[in-house]
Amino acid sequence: MSYYPHTDTERAEMLAAVGAKSIDELFADVPSRVRFPKLNLAGPLSELETLQELRGLSDANGHAQKRPFFLGAGAYNHFSPGLVNYLIQRGEFLTAYTPYQPEVSQGTLQTIFEYQSMICALTGMEAANASHYDGATALAEAVVMAYHHHREKRKKVVLSPAIHPHYRAVVRTYMQGLGLTIVGDEDPRASLDDLVRQVDANTALLAVQSPNFFGQIEPLDGLAAKVHAAGALLAVAVDPVSLGLLKPPGQYGADIVTGEGQPLGLPLSYGGPYLGFFATRKEYVRKMAGRLVGEAHDKNGRRGFVLTLSTREQHIKRDKATSNICTNQGLMAIAATIHLATLGKHGLRRVAELCWHKSHYAAQAIAEIPGYSVDVSQPFFKEFMVKCPKPVAALNDFLLNERGLVGGYDLGRDYPHLAGHMLIAVTEMNTRAEINDLVEALRAAA
């Protein structure tokens, strides 16, 4: 099966119009040694059979609707109003190209402008781009931006060890050709004060995450001033849902705010497509990568929107561009915009409060189980660390196989000193009954 409309007769007539005797003739410039290989692929199948096969694969997975879910670690089970999924399947959003032709792309352009505005409002910043691939690549681009902001003269970046381990890994991958030294996370217990001590005249950026990978809200007060005193920039990665409740990084003086936008109405989808948001101060906007939508007017004075400051980008600056990003996560940004518009000021606050109350309820109950303790050294948002009496993998097997629950993340996988620690996420999706079941199951497993 294929989706092209050509009949054999039409193909013959079109070939005649072209002046070719056969289709093969159109490929005469392909070396005959390797032309028309026989491909060993499955199919073709009808749409019906394909759907059946895919259903089988889908059914082979556990997922967040099948059973209570307490796993987070960078991707979260949140509620998304049905209209988000409905609206992004409108063909005019779904099957549009990048809005390089503004006259026929105002739908995408205005929605992205609204997205930029909402991200600014959430983060307390002045300019946001149209998105990066995900939370990890957004942070990597923050490092790239800081490096170029200092005209490639500062060669050191300080990363908090409490940043998501995958984000730190991606930063290292991105930076391997640029000769930057990445420090800070060699000590997995390093505090913010320890990190600040490493910020010096050769440092381009200090990056932290709050709430951090452990769910803890970092004490950001006064941090920016210390970083700025050394002439470096401060980047803060955030969970956007936490900003329904918490003071935005802009208010703490952050220069760059990044984050994973998946909690804003995007399905878990086994890790993607997600949304990396990126915001900065207006004075740094020309150093920011990614597409930007700006307001403009036509000759009749009508307001519209265009892609602007394109001269920063690869298609114009080529080897002088600081990032190669082109395609981003456009439709995911549209989804996040619709999600935020629907939840609005009160809805996002309510979701954040539900996360706060439910996670604290769960943490208190788990702390009371003999053998378990909850880390309360710092305030946490929707995720918290539990020291367990048994290996986390064994506990999770018990939760899944005996109680039908999906437990938390095994922190020992990334932090050897946290072996036996489980990272538990509780969102508005978890009911009191589910939480009670988890508590009972952990008690039984001890």
Which 108-137 residues touch other proteins, going by CB under 8 A? Answer: 108, 110-114, 116-118, 120-122, 124-128, 130-131, 133-137
Euclidean distance between CA atoms 53 and 43, whole angstroms: 11
Binding to other proteins in span 16-35, by CB under 8 A: 17-20, 23, 25-31, 33-35
Pick out residues in 230-269 that bind other proteins (CB under 8 A). 243-248, 250-251, 253, 260, 267-269
If the CB atoms of residues 60 and 370 are measured against other proteins, the closer one turns out to be 60
Q: Nearer to other proteins by C-beta: 101 or 181? A: 101
Q: Is 423 exposed, middle or buried (0-12, 13-18, 19+ CB in 10 A)?
A: buried
Q: Which is nearer to other proteins, 66 or 197 (CB)?
A: 66
Which CB sits closer to other proteins, 35 or 197?
35
User: 373-374 and 383-387 as β-strands: parallel, antiparallel, unpaired?
Assistant: antiparallel
- Give residues 421-440 in contact with other proteins (rule: CB under 8 A): 428, 431-432, 435
Among 8, 21, 56, 416, the residue binding other proteins under the rule CB under 8 A is: 56
Cis omega before residue 31 (within 30°)? Answer: no
Q: Does 8 bind other proteins (CB under 8 A)?
A: no
- Please list, residue by residue across 90-108, b when 16 or more beta carbons sit within 10 angstroms of its beta carbon and e when fewer do: eeebeebeebeebeebeeb
Structure tokens at 79: 């509620």
Site for other proteins in 288-327 (CB under 8 A): 291-300, 302-306, 308-311, 313-327
Q: How far is the CB of 47 from other proteins (least distance, A)?
A: 5
| Contact call for residues 233 and 204 (beta carbons, < 8 A) | yes
The distance of closest approach from Cβ of residue 203 to other proteins in the complex, given in angstroms and rounded to an integer, is: 19
Closer CB to other proteins, 153 or 197, in the complex = 153
369 binds other proteins (CB under 8 A): no
Nearer to other proteins, 201 or 326 (CB): 326
CA atoms of 220 and 43, how far apart (whole Å) = 56
Name 304's Cβ contacts closer than 8 Å, sequence gap at least 6. Answer: 102, 106, 109, 110, 295, 296, 297, 298
| Footprint of other proteins on 139-168 (CB under 8 A) | 144, 164, 166-167
Structure token pair of residue 343:
């939840």
